[in-house]
Amino acid sequence: MKKIYTILLIAIVALGFSACTGKTPSVAEQNKGQNVQIMTSDNSDGKITPASIGEAFTSVGLTMAGNNDMNKPFSLRFHNTYYKTYNLAMYYDNALTLKLINKYPQFGALTPLTMSIWSDGNTMNVSTLSIEGMARTGEIPLNDPDLVAYAALIQKALHTAMPNGHFKALNYTVKFPDKSLKTKFEADVEETDDIDSFKEDFEAEFEGEMEPLGFLMPNYINMKEELFDDETNDQYDFYDTYSICKFDVIYPVSRLHPEAGAFAPCSMYIYKKKDEDKMHMGWLNVDNWITTLDIEDEESIKPLREAQGMIEKIVTELTQ
């Protein structure tokens, strides 16, 4: 009922705007403030595929960290799928990621960025974070030039992948537009001559606690080896990111909210600067999903909350 009232209110506002100005708001105007963007395209000829979308993203210079067919594990585990195609993909831009992390170290929570790709057979849809979503969750000014460039690159990739596509007009209520809703932890690091062993031991224990609970880590980036230049490397003892997902979470959520893949898999950062005696960890918690996509059904909220609680419990125990 709440969603119906919200839709009616937006329609009334739009009609009022049209009556006063003599024109209908553009999709871009309607989507201002939305944290996700959904591009859709007719695909009755079947030419647009997750693979072709990945190739388009690569063609504009983005690195594809993964493009996973979720229907395969869904079929094996749950004996059912909701869409003809449902993929979760991960991507990032090397140069822009480096620039943004140098200014905002917690940008690792968006490295890699993620998207969902789904189709009912006639249309293809891709959901990514909008520039507003990237700015809010990354705690970055909306007008930061590197963020603006990153958002423009994603738009270019989407239009390359779906040249006849268009963005859907969305009407989600973003409940906390000024809060990142990021879960953050800090842990004291005792002085040691072998920081690499400390990092490896901590991450091995973290992975060992996560995997038995059904969490998967489809991507791992050692930023010092793969992305950082010499100048940035000199600032960090280590900086790693994990992509984390759980079938028992994304399967029920994707039924009603396929666009939630803009937040999944979850990216977690772990880093320590050389001039600090603390290790930092963080990720975008599930309130980002719930409060920006109007998620109200218990079928989706319950597994999201449970997963958030599991990760928090593990990290709390490891960092105490």
- Over residues 114-123, the pLDDT tens digits come to 999 999 989 9
Tokens 């999201």 correspond to 304
- Asked if the model's pLDDT at residue 272 lies above 70, the reply is yes
**29 lies in some domain:** no
In sequence order, which ranges of 2-119 are alpha helices (DSSP H)? 2-21, 27-30, 50-59, 71-78, 94-103
What pLDDT score does 190 carry? 83
Q: What percent of the chain has pLDDT over 90?
A: 88
| DSSP alpha helix (H) spans, the chain | 2-21, 27-30, 50-59, 71-78, 94-103, 131-138, 145-161, 195-210, 223-226, 230-233, 247-256, 287-292, 298-319
Per-residue confidence (pLDDT) for residue 20, from 0 to 100: 47
Q: Are 243 and 218 in contact (CB under 8 A)?
A: yes
SS3 265: coil
Confidence of residue 17 (pLDDT cuts 50, 70, 90): very low
> 8 pLDDT band (50/70/90 cuts)?
very low
Domain that holds residue 312: 35-319
The CA-to-CA distance between both ends of the chain, in Å, stands at: 44
Average pLDDT, the chain: 92
Could you tell me the CATH number of the domain that includes residue 123? 3.30.310.70
User: Strand, helix or coil at 21?
Assistant: helix
* CA dist., res. 183 & res. 29, Å (int): 31
2 pLDDT more than 50: no
Domain count, the chain: 1
Lowest mean pLDDT segment, chosen from 38-47, 186-195, 200-209:
186-195
Examine the pLDDT at 56 and tell me if it is beyond 50. yes
User: In this predicted structure, what is the pLDDT of residue 193?
Assistant: 74
Res. 12: pLDDT tops 80 = no
Task: Tell me whether residue 18 is in a domain.
Answer: no
The span from the CA of 142 to the CA of 174, in Å, is 16
Tell me, yes or no, whether 133 lies in a domain: yes
pLDDT in tens, 171-193: 999 999 999 999 999 999 988 77
Query: pLDDT confidence of 84, banded at 50, 70, 90?
Result: very high
- What CA–CA distance (Å, rounded) separates 177 from 88? 25
Averaged pLDDT for residues 15-31: 65
**296: helix, coil or strand?**
coil
Is 74 among the domain residues?
Answer: yes
Whether the predicted pLDDT of 216 surpasses 80: yes
pLDDT of residue 22: 56
The answer to whether residue 27 is domain-embedded is no
Q: How many Cβ atoms are within 10 Å of 15's Cβ, its own excluded?
A: 11
* Residue 249 in tokens: 């979470």
pLDDT band at 87 (very low <50, low <70, confident <90, very high): very high
- Is residue 10 situated within a structural domain? no
- Mean pLDDT within 32-50: 97
Q: Please give the pLDDT value at position 192.
A: 77
- In a domain, residue 314? The reply is yes
- Position 257 scores a pLDDT of 98
pLDDT of residue 10: 44
User: 112 in a domain, yes or no?
Assistant: yes
Q: What is the pLDDT of residue 320?
A: 85
